[in-house]
Amino acid sequence: MGRFLRGLNAVFNAAIAIKRIDAELAIIPQFHSTQLALQAELIRLANIEVGDAIRVLSEVPGLNVSSLNSFQQASTQLNIALLPPSEAARVTCWEVATDAEEPTNEEESDSEDAADSEVESEDADASDDDGEHGNGHGHGHGGDSSDD
């Protein structure tokens, strides 16, 4: 269950980061190379989300390695985007970072497979609980938050 939740957390991090990058890309045509503090703040906030995704995926060895690599590439691009003096260079970095964060079909499939296996596991646990406790609710999981 923990592995699934970590993957879900990373997906939400990616969605928030992409929204912040999209906001940045939307204001560039209006402000160009002015309002750089606002532009830098949006990138900083996007990179916080990317960093959180990297952290949660890194804490479990072998968990969605391709997504972890994509998040690391996005973080690199976001850091580079803070440095270039030209608008065109910043836009290129943000676009590359956005592309790196979008989940691939394989990653989406991995999340769906994990969700399916978690549901099957919970169904099996619920039937075990029904027999032991006779309450028919199947909520005997305790506080297990293992990432296995």
Task: For residue 141, tell me if it sits in a domain.
Answer: no
Residue 26 included in any domain: yes
pLDDT at 147 exceeding the cut of 80: no
Structure tokens at 114: 């994990």
* CA separation for the pair 100, 126 (Å, rounded): 39
Q: Does residue 147 fall inside a structural domain?
A: no
146: three-class secondary structure by DSSP: coil
Domain boundaries, position 116: 2-133
User: For residue 73, what are the contacts with CB-CB under 8 A and spacing of at least 6?
Assistant: 96, 97, 100
Q: How many domains does the chain have?
A: 1
Tell me, yes or no, whether 148 lies in a domain.
no
The residue among 52, 99, 96, 104 whose CA lies nearest residue 77 is: 96
- What is the predicted pLDDT for the residue at 43? 92
Residue 146: inside a domain = no
Kindly state the DSSP code that residue 103 receives in the 8-state scheme: P
Would you say residue 5 has pLDDT above 60? yes
Is pTM beyond 0.75 here?
A: no
What tens digit of pLDDT does each residue of 87-124 get? 788 788 878 888 877 655 544 445 444 444 444 444 44
Q: Report if residue 143 sits inside a domain.
A: no
| Percent of residues, the chain, with pLDDT higher than 70 | 67
* Residue 119 or residue 67, greater confidence: 67
Task: Give the pLDDT band (50/70/90) at residue 84.
Answer: low
Give me the CATH number covering residue 80.
1.20.120
With respect to residue 96, please indicate whether it lies within any of the assigned structural domains.
yes
Asked if the structure places residue 140 within a domain, the reply is no
Q: How far apart are CA 69 and CA 73, in angstroms?
A: 6
